[in-house]
């Protein structure tokens, strides 16, 4: 009888307890949907890493005033919180040799204020290090060296990193794909069977059969000659298959300017796996185009000027050659109304000069001039130029050009024309110039890695003739690298020098150097830093030396507190920077010394818009023997370098 009573009580209590559990689950799910704030995080089972290191790696963040100001959504429980935390912690362990790590995470309710407590439990397992590396399988022996170059980074005794091993597998497959073996396979084996923490690595490589490009079908070419595709594509039927050939062909097609998209895919039907066919699909840009722009500005002599420019061009002139016509007009508004300047240009482009992928641009520019209303003279000028560009890979680029200019003055006697040219600063310049650039930056607006190197030279006058005779050179090197999570170090060195020769005793003012301003040495007004004349006026420099060091990081997002701008500007991240600038301009190289350099430091904020960073900097000068203390605000777009 007693046993029957106990059974009846259990049967009655079971549905009640089940209902209570279901109710608790519903309450917790509703609580999680409200995204409760995280007030505490605890980590258990971590011996190799400290609890602070684990918490710093996690996606979840403990609530704080600073995190709230930044608008960090990770301070509240999100749908992805648990999964992201587990991935981040596993990543930390897997790249440090813990191959069997297990992570468990739970969220507990803090009953006092309904906030959340995150609990992480880690089972680290054993930590493994690399042993000897072997490469086995069936492949051409000539490829063994390239495979060892990839696998040679795994030195005995270093901690095992699964991500590096998988990256090595991908790189080895890339070697196979670039040598004609796209069907090849690569696997790695870590030998942990003997219970030792030292793991020998074996890469098993199978190259399969050598593959060649089959027939290439081109689609989408209607308004341009077919050779605009074939000469840019590097895929040739019968050549050994190489993945880099496909990637390079797509890049060259887009750079040609005739196509908006270019895709290369395998044909739907493959009759011969060793000679697969490919389809090259392009989307053409319109052959004829027109442009029109206008805008207002201010000059040193007029409060308001209005510019107009218009142009017309054709991309399939005489086959694939291009030409464009443009006109530029400037009007004065208010005082001094009327036409101030007008210029006209025609440009012709030969995309493959001398049968080489080296575009040649021929340009002619004509400025009729506008008669001076008071002195009744008009200055007419015209110029011819030729330039060519050559790319070497994706990082290197060179430019070479020649310019020829002529000027005539109407309305004054011949013997007065030379005097007028001196008074107006008019000179005829004929020059040869070249530019070399190496650009490995990962982003043109906010680079995080890579570098930019420029070297430019200019030879003016001499055997070319003209009024001015000088040479000019500039060298610039900028480097970008991550310092610690979220921080970028940006460094720049720049030098420049200009030297007159022959009949010229000095370099023209317009071709000398100025420093100072938002893009060189901050803390000075733009173009106000350089050698001084005895009367205290600024003289442009023949030599410059410049150094900049800047640290940049993403800071708190203020737009989340502005109801009107929250949706519009919320996607534009806010960055901050601190910087140190050093440099000056000099008459001669012997004047360059640390004693007469200008120094400044400061901080700034940047709104990173789709058009580039919008920047506000505050800089303070450092007092020296020749420069007084001062401070200055700068407002501009794009980073200084």
pLDDT tens track for 280-325: 999 999 999 999 999 877 665 566 788 999 999 999 999 999 999 9
**Residue range 73-93: mean pLDDT, rounded:** 86
Q: Answer yes or no: is 147 within a domain.
A: yes
What's the confidence (pLDDT) of residue 17? 47
Kindly report the CATH number assigned to the domain that includes residue 92. 3.10.20.310
What's the confidence (pLDDT) of residue 302? 64
Q: Answer yes or no: is 369 within a domain.
A: no
The DSSP annotation for 219-253 comes to ES-SSS-THHHHTT----TTSBP-HHHHHHHHHHH
311, 316, 320, 325: CA torsion to nearest 10: -20
Same domain, 228 and 277: yes
Q: Which residue has the higher pLDDT, 284 or 510?
A: 284
**Residue range 155-164: mean pLDDT, rounded:** 88
What's the confidence (pLDDT) of residue 533? 82
Q: Answer yes or no: is 568 within a domain.
A: no
**Residue range 445-471: mean pLDDT, rounded:** 94
**Residue range 368-379: mean pLDDT, rounded:** 81
Domain boundary among 77, 102, 123: 123
pLDDT digits (tens, 9 = 90+) for 404-419: 998 888 877 766 766 6
Of the ranges 88-92, 415-419, 556-560, the best mean pLDDT one: 88-92
Of the ranges 5-9, 501-505, 607-611, the best mean pLDDT one: 501-505
Q: Report whether pLDDT(150) > 90.
A: no
Contact 613, 628 (CB under 8 A): no
Distance CA 318, CA 335 (A): 47
Pull the structure tokens for residue 520.
Answer: 């060189």
Q: Report whether pLDDT(566) > 80.
A: no
Among 444-448, 485-489, 520-524, the least confident range: 485-489
| Residue 163's pLDDT band (cuts 50, 70, 90) | confident
Distance CA 63, CA 83 (A): 19
* Residue spans of beta strands (DSSP E) within 55-206: 102-110, 115-123, 129-138, 185-190, 198-206
Q: Report whether pLDDT(480) > 90.
A: yes
Distance CA 133, CA 489 (A): 36
Q: Report whether pLDDT(109) > 60.
A: yes
Domain boundary among 184, 206, 228: 206
What's the confidence (pLDDT) of residue 238? 94
**Residue range 424-430: mean pLDDT, rounded:** 78
Q: Which residue has the higher pLDDT, 92 or 63?
A: 92
Same domain, 90 and 150: no
| Residue 12's pLDDT band (cuts 50, 70, 90) | very low
Q: Answer yes or no: is 295 within a domain.
A: no
Distance CA 379, CA 518 (A): 35
Of the ranges 3-17, 156-170, 218-232, the best mean pLDDT one: 218-232
Among 123-127, 191-195, 230-234, 566-570, the least confident range: 566-570
Q: Report whether pLDDT(580) > 50.
A: yes
Same domain, 79 and 133: no
Mean pLDDT for the chain? Answer: 87
Q: Answer yes or no: is 520 within a domain.
A: no
Total tally of structural domains belonging to the chain: 4
**Residue range 428-434: mean pLDDT, rounded:** 93
Same domain, 68 and 90: yes
Same domain, 161 and 118: no
Count other C-beta atoms under 10 Å from residue 106's C-beta. Answer: 10
Domain boundary among 123, 142, 163: 123
Q: Answer yes or no: is 237 within a domain.
A: yes
What's the confidence (pLDDT) of residue 13? 46
**Residue range 481-509: mean pLDDT, rounded:** 91
The strand pair at 598-609 and 574-586 is best described as antiparallel
Same domain, 47 and 95: yes
| Residue 153's pLDDT band (cuts 50, 70, 90) | confident
Q: Which residue range forms the structural domain that includes residue 102?
A: 34-123
Q: Report whether pLDDT(23) > 90.
A: no
What's the confidence (pLDDT) of residue 569? 54
Count other C-beta atoms under 10 Å from residue 212's C-beta. Answer: 15
Number of residues that make up the chain: 641
Among the listed residues 34, 88, 92, the one whose alpha carbon sits nearest the alpha carbon of residue 61: 88
Q: Answer yes or no: is 625 within a domain.
A: no
Among 271-285, 406-420, 543-557, the least confident range: 406-420
Same domain, 27 and 73: no
Q: Report whether pLDDT(558) > 70.
A: no
SS3 assignment, position 268: coil
Q: What is the pTM of this model?
A: 0.72
Same domain, 54 and 119: yes
Same domain, 40 and 25: no
pLDDT digits (tens, 9 = 90+) for 27-54: 566 666 777 888 889 999 999 999 988 9
Q: Report whether pLDDT(571) > 90.
A: no
What's the confidence (pLDDT) of residue 578? 97
Q: Answer yes or no: is 501 within a domain.
A: no
What's the confidence (pLDDT) of residue 112? 61
Among the listed residues 70, 124, 137, the one whose alpha carbon sits nearest the alpha carbon of residue 561: 70
**Residue range 452-471: mean pLDDT, rounded:** 94
Same domain, 100 and 148: no
Share of residues in the chain with pLDDT > 90 (%)? 58
Q: Report whether pLDDT(570) > 60.
A: no
First-residue to last-residue Cα distance in the chain: 91
């Amino acid at each position: 009888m007693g046993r029957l009573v106990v059974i009846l009580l259990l049967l009655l209590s079971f549905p009640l307890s089940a209902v209570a559990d279901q109710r608790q689950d519903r309450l917790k799910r509703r609580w999680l949907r409200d995204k409760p704030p995280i007030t505490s995080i605890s980590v258990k089972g971590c011996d190799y890493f400290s609890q602070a290191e684990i918490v710093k790696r996690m996606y979840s963040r403990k609530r704080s005033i600073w995190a709230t100001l930044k608008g960090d959504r990770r301070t509240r429980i999100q749908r992805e919180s648990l999964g992201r935390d587990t991935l981040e912690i596993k990543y930390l362990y897997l790249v440090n040799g813990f191959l069997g790590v297990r992570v468990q995470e739970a969220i507990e309710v803090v009953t006092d204020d309904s906030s959340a407590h995150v609990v992480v439990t880690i089972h680290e397992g054993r930590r493994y290090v690399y042993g000897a590396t072997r490469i086995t399988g069936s492949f051409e022996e000539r490829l063994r060296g390239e495979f060892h170059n990839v696998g040679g980074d795994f030195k005995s005794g270093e901690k095992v990193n699964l991500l590096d091993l998988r990256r090595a597998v991908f790189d080895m497959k890339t070697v196979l794909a670039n040598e004609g073996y796209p069907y090849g396979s690569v696997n790695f084996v870590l030998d942990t069977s003997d219970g030792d923490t030292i793991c020998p690595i074996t890469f098993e490589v199978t190259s399969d059969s050598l593959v060649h490009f089959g027939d290439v079908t081109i689609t989408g070419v209607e308004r341009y000659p077919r050779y605009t595709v074939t000469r840019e594509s590097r895929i040739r039927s019968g050549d050994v298959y190489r993945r880099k050939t496909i990637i390079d062909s797509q890049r060259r097609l887009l750079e040609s300017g005739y196509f908006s998209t270019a895709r290369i895919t395998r044909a739907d039907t493959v009759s011969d796996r060793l000679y697969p066919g490919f389809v090259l699909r392009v989307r053409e840009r319109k052959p004829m185009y027109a442009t029109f722009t206008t805008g207002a500005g201010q000059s040193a002599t007029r409060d308001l000027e209005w510019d107009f420019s218009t142009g017309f061009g054709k991309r399939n002139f005489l086959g694939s050659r291009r030409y464009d016509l443009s006109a530029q007009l400037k009007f004065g508004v208010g005082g001094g109304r009327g036409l101030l300047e007008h210029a006209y240009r025609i440009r012709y482009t030969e995309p493959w000069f001398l049968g080489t992928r080296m575009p040649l641009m021929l340009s002619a520019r004509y400025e009729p001039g506008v008669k001076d209303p008071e002195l009744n003279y008009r200055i007419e000028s015209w110029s011819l130029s030729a330039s060519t560009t050559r790319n070497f890979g994706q990082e290197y680029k060179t430019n070479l050009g020649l310019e020829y200019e002529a000027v005539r003055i109407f309305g004054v006697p011949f013997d007065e024309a030379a005097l007028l040219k001196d008074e107006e600063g008019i000179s005829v310049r004929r020059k040869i110039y070249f530019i070399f650039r190496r650009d490995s930056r990962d982003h043109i607006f906010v680079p995080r890695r890579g570098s930019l190197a420029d070297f430019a030279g200019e030879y003016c006058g001499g055997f070319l003739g003209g009024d001015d005779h000088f040479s000019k050179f500039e060298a610039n090197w900028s480097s970008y690298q991550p310092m610690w999570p979220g921080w970028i170090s940006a460094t720049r060195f720049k030098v420049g020098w200009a030297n007159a020769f022959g009949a010229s005793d000095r370099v023209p003012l317009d071709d000398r150097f100025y420093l100072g301003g938002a893009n060189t040495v901050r803390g000075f007004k733009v173009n106000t830093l350089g050698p001084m004349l005895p009367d205290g006026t600024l003289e442009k420099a023949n030599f410059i030396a410049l150094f900049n060091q800047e640290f940049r990081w993403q800071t708190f997002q203020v737009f989340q507190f502005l109801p009107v701008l929250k949706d519009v500007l919320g996607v534009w991240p806010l960055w901050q920077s601190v910087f140190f600038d050093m440099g000056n301009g000099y008459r001669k190289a012997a004047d360059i010394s640390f004693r007469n350099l200008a120094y400044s430091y400061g901080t700034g904020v940047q709104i990173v818009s789709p058009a580039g960073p919008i920047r506000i900097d505050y800089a303070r000068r450092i007092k020296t023997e020749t420069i007084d203390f001062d401070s200055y605000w700068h407002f501009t777009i794009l980073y200084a370098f």
